[in-house]
Structure 1
Amino acid sequence: MNNSNNLIKNTEAEQSILGSILLDSTIIEELEQMLSEDMFYHEEHKYIFSAIKEINKRNEVIDIITLTEELKRKGHLNNIGGISYITSLSTIVPTVSNFMSYVSIVIEKYKNRNIIDKFNKFSLGEIDDNTLIYQLENDINKANQKLIKKDSSITAISERAFEYINDEINEGIKTGIKFLDETIGGLYGGELTTIAAKSGRGKTALALQILRNVIFQGKKVLFISGEMSDIQILFRNIASLTGISVVKMKNRNLDDKEIVKYIQALSIINQENNLYINDSVNTVSGIKREIKSIKPSLVIIDYLQILDYEGKEVGESKFADLSRQIKKITLDFNIPVIQLAQLNDELKDERPKGDRVMRSSKQIYMDSNSVVYIHRPTEKEALNYCKTMGIEDIRELRRREKGFGANLSEIIIAKNRDGESGFRPYWYIGNLFSFEECKKIQEI
Structure 2
Amino acid sequence: MKELEFEQGLPNAVDVERLALGSAIMDSVNNLPVVMALCREDCFSTSQHQVVFRTLCEMSAAEKAIDRITVLRELHEQGKLDLAGGPAKVVDLDTGLPEIYSLDAYCEILAEKAALRRLITSMYRHTQILLGRGAGVAEIAAAKAAIADLDTETNRRKQGFQNMAELIRNEAGGGPRAYLVPTPESIGIPWPWLKMTDAIGGMRAGQVICVSAGTGVGKTTFGCAAIAHAAAQGHCTAILTTEMSSQEQTIKIMCQRAGVNLHRWMEGKATRQDQDAVAAVVHTHLPSRIYVDEREQVTPAMMDAALTALKHDPPAVVMVDYFQLMESGLRTGDVNREQHLAHVSRQMKRLARKHKTCFLVLSQVNDSGSTRESKALENDATVIILLERQEGGAMKVKFRKSRFSARSDMYLGFDGATGLFFEADNT
Q: 1:438 — aligned with what?
A: 424
1:415–1:169: structure 2 CA closer, same or farther, 3 Å change rule?
A: closer
Moved over 6 A (4+): 165-168
Deviations 1:79-117 (A, max 9, x none): xxxxxxxxxxxxxxxxxxxxxxxxxxxxxxxxxxxxxxx
Q: Distance in 2 between matches of 1:372 and 1:199?
A: 15
Please give the residue correspondences for 1:160-309 in structure 2 after superposition, counting only pairs within 5 Å.
Answer: 170-268=186-284, 270-271=285-286, 273-280=288-295, 282-294=298-310, 295-309=314-328
Instruction: Please name the residue that 1:84 is paired with.
Output: none
> Does the 8 Å contact 1:415/1:421 carry over to 2?
no
Residue matched to 1:70? none
Q: Deviations over 1:17-68 (max 9, x none)?
A: xxxxxxxxxxxxxxxxxxxxxxxxxxxxxxxxxxxxxxxxxxxxxxxxxxxx
**Which amino acid is the alignment partner of residue 217 of structure 2?**
R
Note if contact 1:197-1:341 (Cα within 8 Å) is conserved in structure 2. yes
Q: Counterpart of 1:162? A: none
Q: Matches of residues 51-90 of structure 1 in structure 2 within 5 Å? A: none
For residues 103-152 of structure 1, give each alpha carbon's deviation from its aligned partner in whole angstroms, at most 9, with x where no partner exists: xxxxxxxxxxxxxxxxxxxxxxxxxxxxxxxxxxxxxxxxxxxxxxxxxx
TM-score (normalised: structure 1): 0.50
Q: Is residue 213–residue 387 contact of structure 2 (8 Å, CA) maintained in 1?
A: yes
Deviation at 1:263, TM superposition (A): 1.1
Deviation at 1:198, TM superposition (A): 0.5
Equivalent-residue separation in structure 2 for 1:276 and 1:228 (angstroms): 14
Partners of 2:410 and 2:426 within 8 A in 1: no
The 3 A distance-change label for structure 1 pair 254 and 440 is farther
The alignment status of 1:323 with 2:309, answered yes or no, reads: no
Separation (CA, whole Å) in 2 of partners of 1:261 and 1:272: 15
RMSD, aligned CA: 2.4
Following superposition, the deviation at residue 325 of structure 1 comes to 1.0
1:320/1:364 contact within 8 Å kept: yes
Number of residue pairs the alignment of both structures matches: 240
Task: Quote the offset at 1:213 in angstroms.
Answer: 0.9
> What one-letter code is carried by the residue in structure 2 that aligns with 1:359?
R
Paired position in structure 1 for 2:388: 375
Structure-2 separation of matches of 1:225 and 1:217: 22
Secondary structure of 1:432's aligned partner: coil
- Offset, 1:167: 7.8
Per-residue Cα deviation, 1:238-281 (whole angstroms, up to 9, x for no partner) = 2222333223332333333332222112113x457211111126
Using the TM superposition, give the Cα deviation of residue 209 of structure 1 relative to its aligned residue in structure 2, in angstroms.
Answer: 0.9
Distance 2:246 2:190 in 1: 24
Give how far 1:332 is off.
1.4
How far apart are 1:188 and its partner, in Å? 1.2
Which runs of 5 or more residues in structure 2 are unaligned? 1-177
Answer with 1 or 2: which has the greater Rg.
1
Opposite residue 341 of structure 1, the aligned amino acid is S
Summarize the alignment of residues 88-167 of structure 1 with structure 2, pairs less than 5 Å apart. none
Structure 1: gaps of 5 or more residues: 1-164, 378-397, 402-406
Structure 2 match to 1:76:
none
* Whole-Å separation in 1 of the counterparts to 2:222 and 2:317: 15
Per-residue CA distance 1:289-338 (angstroms, 9 max, x = gap): 22112221111101111012301322211111111111111111121111
CA contact (8 A) 2:228 2:286 kept: no
Q: Deviations over 1:406-438 (max 9, x none)?
A: x12200111012344510122222122122222
Indicate which of 327, 333, 358 corresponds to 2:371: 358
Question: CA deviation digits over 1:380-412, x for unaligned, max 9?
Answer: xxxxxxxxxxxxxxxxxx6xx4xxxxx122001
Q: Percent identity among equivalent residues?
A: 18
Counterpart Cα distance in 1 of 2:258 and 2:360: 25
